[in-house]
């Protein structure tokens, strides 16, 4: 996830999709670390849209994670649903840390208005 965010996040995928013959984008995607658990990674990005709005990113609501894990199409046992929730919350925590670091770094050097 850190690699993905460092490369520009979803903008990288949009640019690569818009320019499928561009070697620059294809090389960056080819060099991406492999995701062993695509279910979790894909689910995380789908659940990402369930965050409450605001100036700062908030955690994905647990109720949304639980509802996603309970989808019949996933056929997850109760134990697997618990593990799913745990993994998504870990991914979310990492995402929120990265975003906080990015926000803090982008705010450095900026003076406050009125000072």
Same domain, 15 and 28: yes
Please name which of 53, 76, 54 lies closest in space to residue 65, comparing C-alpha atoms.
76
- The single-letter DSSP state of residue 36 is S
Query: Domain tally for the chain?
Result: 2
pLDDT digits (tens, 9 = 90+) for 69-79: 999 998 999 99
> Considering the domain boundaries, does residue 114 fall inside one?
no
Same domain, 55 and 84: yes
Same domain, 18 and 41: no
Mean per-residue pLDDT, 51-76: 90
Mean pLDDT of the chain: 78
Q: Judge contact between 47 and 88, C-beta under 8 A.
A: yes
Mean per-residue pLDDT, 15-33: 66
Same domain, 15 and 58: no
Whether 20 has a pLDDT exceeding 50, the answer reads yes
Whether 100 has a pLDDT exceeding 90, the answer reads no
pLDDT at 114: 47
Same domain, 21 and 72: no
Same domain, 29 and 47: no
Whether 24 has a pLDDT exceeding 80, the answer reads no
Q: Which domain holds residue 62?
A: 36-109
Q: Judge contact between 60 and 92, C-beta under 8 A.
A: yes
């Amino acid at each position: 996830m850190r690699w993905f965010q460092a490369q520009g996040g979803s903008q990288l995928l949009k640019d690569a999709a818009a320019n499928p013959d561009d070697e620059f984008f294809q090389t960056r995607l080819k060099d991406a670390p492999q995701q062993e658990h695509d279910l979790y990674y894909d689910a995380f990005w789908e659940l990402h849209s369930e965050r409450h709005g605001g100036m700062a990113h908030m955690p994905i609501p647990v109720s949304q994670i639980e509802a996603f894990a309970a989808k019949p199409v996933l056929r997850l046992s109760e134990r697997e649903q618990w593990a799913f929730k745990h993994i998504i919350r870990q991914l979310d925590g990492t995402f929120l840390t990265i975003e906080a670091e990015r926000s803090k770094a982008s705010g450095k050097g900026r003076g406050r208005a009125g000072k």
